[in-house]
Amino acid sequence: MLSNAALKSARPKPHAYKMWDAQGLHLYVAPTGLRAWRVRIRADRREAVISLGSWPDVSLDDARESARLARGMIVQGSTPKIVAAKLAERLAQSAITFQQLARDWHAARRDRWTAVHAADVLASLERHVFPAIGEDLATAITTPQLLRLLGRIASTGAAETARRIAQRLSAIFRFARTRSIVDGDPAAGLVREVATGAPVQRQPALEDLGEARALLDAADRARVAPAIRLASRFLALTAVRLAALRGARWDEIEGVDWSTSAPAPAALWRIPAVRMKLAVAKKADAANDHLVPLSAAAVAVLRQARAIGGADLIFHRGGRPIGKGAIGALYDRCGFAGRHVPHGWRATFSSALNEQYPADEIIIERALAHAQKDKVKAAYDRARHLPRLRFLFDRWAEILLDTPGPGDWPE
């Protein structure tokens, strides 16, 4: 039988020759230097030779495995032509790099995700994974290799990022396994192995309204792209999640006549359920769309953003969503690092309105898109409470911007 040492010593000769292993497997060495694996088999009392790839691209162990598969397929009734085609497909799959595999997985899943989430998933792989193992063959990647990669990410303080990437790595290998590209999942169980880091804490949020106004003022004066500055103000006025803001589109805005500067008292942002933080089954139902009444101040921000133009997205840089960390970085530059993050506006909104309108706690929760268990009641409440929601968002704009308002809601 052949050995790796014998293969390494094989040299071209004036005439082609064969180096035999066992059960018909041999290495064909041509005068040109080609060293090709072949297996001789018998099918229907006739002899056939099937190519199994070239050495060293195909190792001795892989060639033996391919020869074994070829013999098995012949026994099961496949023709040599079909066997050759299946082995060629297997060989092509085994040569796929991890980056190719990951991009195939991403393309297959993209329609199930929001545009923002799909972009974030790919960006995390491009930043943390592809530079390290992107060019490695998917079939050659090992569990210790992945564990070292995740350890390096976690060691920078990004434990949550490491956990998410571990989940994505496992999903990629499961995707490959179902397509017979790999035999197993080397990332299985690695989420538990990644350091958990510090306990999850409440996200920093300003409770003092004077400081909140100071932050908005500082952000307005900062030297930053207009789209980021406007996105920051709109986020504060609507108290939505950052993902909803980054994916906001013009066709989601209702009740505004963009051809005039007339007031828009019925302005509304209808965020499709598919972009909300919901269970997958709920995302397909338009009844779960989130309605955000827009104050005059919020509409004014949109008019400024519309003057920038250039994309279906409202807040964008070159047609792509503003960066996930762009607003947070802006707040850090303004001197509020560790004191307020983009998500913190939701807490500031809730605290301010609950203090003034404690009887509206449930409606304030609805304004923040916190789920209700009773679907029928939720659908009814959405229509019934929309006028009150509009009042609360108008009042929030007055409180945040310290502008006089019409007074309390009439009882």
User: Both 183 and 236 in a single domain?
Assistant: no
The token pair at 292 is: 């955000």
Q: How confident is the model at residue 173 (pLDDT cuts 50, 70, 90)?
A: very high
The pLDDT assigned to 410 comes to 47
**Total tally of structural domains belonging to the chain:** 3
Between 195 and 180, where is the model more confident?
180
List the one residue out of 157, 145, 158 whose CA is nearest residue 190.
145
Place of tokens 């995707």: 175
Residues 6+ apart with CB under 8 A from 215: 206, 331, 334, 336, 340
The pLDDT assigned to 91 comes to 62
Q: Are 94 and 137 in contact (CB under 8 A)?
A: yes
User: Both 261 and 305 in a single domain?
Assistant: yes
HEC profile for 141-160? Answer: CCHHHHHHHHHHHHHCCCHH
For 410, how many CA atoms within 13 A lie in the half-sphere containing its CB?
Answer: 1
User: Both 50 and 174 in a single domain?
Assistant: no
pTM of the model: 0.54
- Sheet bearing 290-293, strands edge to edge: 253-254, 268-271, 290-293
Q: Check whether 137 has a pLDDT greater than 60.
A: yes
**Type of residue found at 146:** L
Query: Alpha-carbon dihedral of residues 238, 243, 247, 251, nearest 10 degrees?
Result: -40
Q: Are 253 and 267 in contact (CB under 8 A)?
A: yes
34: helix, strand or coil? coil
How far, in Å, are 23, 97, 129, 330 from residue 4 at the CA level?
18, 24, 32, 59
User: Both 168 and 313 in a single domain?
Assistant: no
The pLDDT assigned to 211 comes to 95
Instruction: Summarize pLDDT for 44-59 with one digit per residue, the tens.
Output: 667 777 777 778 767 7
CA pair distance 285, 274, nearest whole angstrom: 8
User: Both 32 and 150 in a single domain?
Assistant: no
- CATH code: domain of residue 136: 1.10.150.130
Residue 324 lies in a domain: yes
List the one residue out of 397, 297, 401, 396 whose CA is nearest residue 353.
396
Q: Are 87 and 69 in contact (CB under 8 A)?
A: yes
CA pair distance 302, 245, nearest whole angstrom: 12
User: Both 222 and 326 in a single domain?
Assistant: yes
The token pair at 365 is: 């929760």
DSSP result, 259-301: TS----TT-EEEE-GGGSS--HHHHT-GGGPEEEEPPHHHHHH
Residue 202 lies in a domain: no
**Type of residue found at 219:** A
Does 265 sit behind a cis peptide bond, omega within 30 degrees of 0 on the bond before it? no
User: Both 231 and 299 in a single domain?
Assistant: yes
Between 78 and 107, where is the model more confident?
107
Sign of CA dihedral 53, 59, 64, 70: negative
Residue 310 lies in a domain: yes
Residue 199 lies in a domain: no
Residues 6+ apart with CB under 8 A from 24: 39, 40, 41, 67, 71
User: Both 241 and 107 in a single domain?
Assistant: no
Residue 203 lies in a domain: no
- Sheet bearing 46-54, strands edge to edge: 17-20, 25-29, 35-43, 46-54
CA pair distance 103, 99, nearest whole angstrom: 6
Q: Check whether 252 has a pLDDT greater than 50.
A: yes
User: Both 397 and 374 in a single domain?
Assistant: yes
User: Both 318 and 361 in a single domain?
Assistant: yes
Q: Check whether 372 has a pLDDT greater than 80.
A: no
The token pair at 3 is: 């050995």
- CATH code: domain of residue 299: 1.10.443.10
Q: Check whether 261 has a pLDDT greater than 80.
A: yes
Q: Check whether 378 has a pLDDT greater than 60.
A: no
The pLDDT assigned to 383 comes to 58
Q: Check whether 377 has a pLDDT greater than 60.
A: no
The token pair at 250 is: 């013009």
Structural domain of 113: 98-193
The token pair at 181 is: 């590209």
Instruction: Summarize pLDDT for 291-339 with one digit per residue, the tens.
Output: 999 999 999 999 999 988 778 999 998 888 999 999 999 999 999 999 9
Quote helix, strand, coil % in the chain, to nearest 5: 55, 10, 35
Give the domain-ending residue among 40, 69, 94: 94
Instruction: Summarize pLDDT for 202-240 with one digit per residue, the tens.
Output: 678 998 999 999 999 999 999 999 999 999 999 999 999
User: Both 49 and 177 in a single domain?
Assistant: no
52: helix, strand or coil? strand
The pLDDT assigned to 200 comes to 43
Residue 239 lies in a domain: yes
Residues 6+ apart with CB under 8 A from 144: none
Q: Crossing angle for the helix pair 226-238 and 209-221, nearest 10 degrees? A: 160
Q: Crossing angle for the helix pair 115-128 and 159-178, nearest 10 degrees? A: 100
CA pair distance 232, 305, nearest whole angstrom: 12
The pLDDT assigned to 24 comes to 78
The 8-class DSSP code of residue 53 comes to E
Give the domain-ending residue among 67, 94, 121: 94
Least confidently predicted of 174-188, 248-262, 316-330: 174-188
- CATH code: domain of residue 14: 3.30.160.390
Between 373 and 97, where is the model more confident?
97
The pLDDT assigned to 8 comes to 81
User: Both 126 and 86 in a single domain?
Assistant: no
Give the domain-ending residue among 37, 63, 94: 94
Residue 134 lies in a domain: yes
Residue 253 lies in a domain: yes
